[in-house]
Amino acid sequence: MHTFRQCVQHYNGNHKIKSFTCLGQFLCMAFAQLTYRESLRDIEVCLHAHRSKLYHMGLRGGISRNTLANANKVRDWRLYANFAQALTRIACRLYIDEGFAVDLANIAYALDASTIDLCLSFFPRASSRRTKAAVKLHTLLDLRGNIPTFVHIAEGKLHDVNVLDLLPLEPSAFYIMDRGYLVFARLYHLALVGAFFPTRTKPNTQYSPLYSRPVDKSTGLKFDQTIMLIGVRTPRYYPEKLRCIKYYDATTEKIFVFLTNNFSLPALTIVDLYRCCWQVELFFGALAFGVGGRGNDRVAAAPSSLSRMVFFPSYPHNANGRSDPQSHPGKIQGTLNNGGELLQRCPCSERENLSPRSINR
- Alpha-carbon span 148 to 138, nearest angstrom: 10
Is residue 60 assigned to a domain?
yes
Whether residue 7 lies inside any domain: the answer is yes
Give a yes or no: residue 244 inside a domain. Answer: yes
The answer to whether residue 156 is domain-embedded is: no
Find the helix or strand (DSSP H, E) in which 149 lies: strand 147-155
Give the model's confidence band at 245: pLDDT under 50 very low, under 70 low, under 90 confident, else very high: very high
pLDDT in tens, 92-117: 777 777 777 788 888 899 999 988 87
- pTM given for the model: 0.72
High-pLDDT (> 90) share of the chain, %: 31
Determine, yes or no, domain membership for 257.
yes
Which residue, of 249, 267, 285, is where some domain finishes?
Answer: 267
Answer yes or no: is 127 within a domain: no
Cβ pair 247, 177 in contact under 8 A: no
Distance between CA 196 and CA 173 in Å, rounded?
6
Helices (H), the chain: 2-10, 22-34, 40-49, 54-57, 65-74, 78-94, 184-193, 234-237, 267-275, 278-287, 298-310, 315-319, 328-338, 348-352, 356-360
What confidence score (pLDDT) does residue 309 get? 58
Total domains present in the chain: 2
Beta bridge partners of 140: 111, 150
- Does 262 lie in the same domain as 319? no
- For residue 210, the enclosing domain spans 196-267
Task: Tell me if 171 is assigned to some domain.
Answer: no
For residue 140, being part of any structural domain is answered with no
Of the residues 267, 289, 319, the one at which a domain ends: 267
CA distance 234 to 183: 9
Residue partners of 269: CB distance under 8 A and separation at least 6: 102, 103, 104
Same domain? 261 vs 314: no
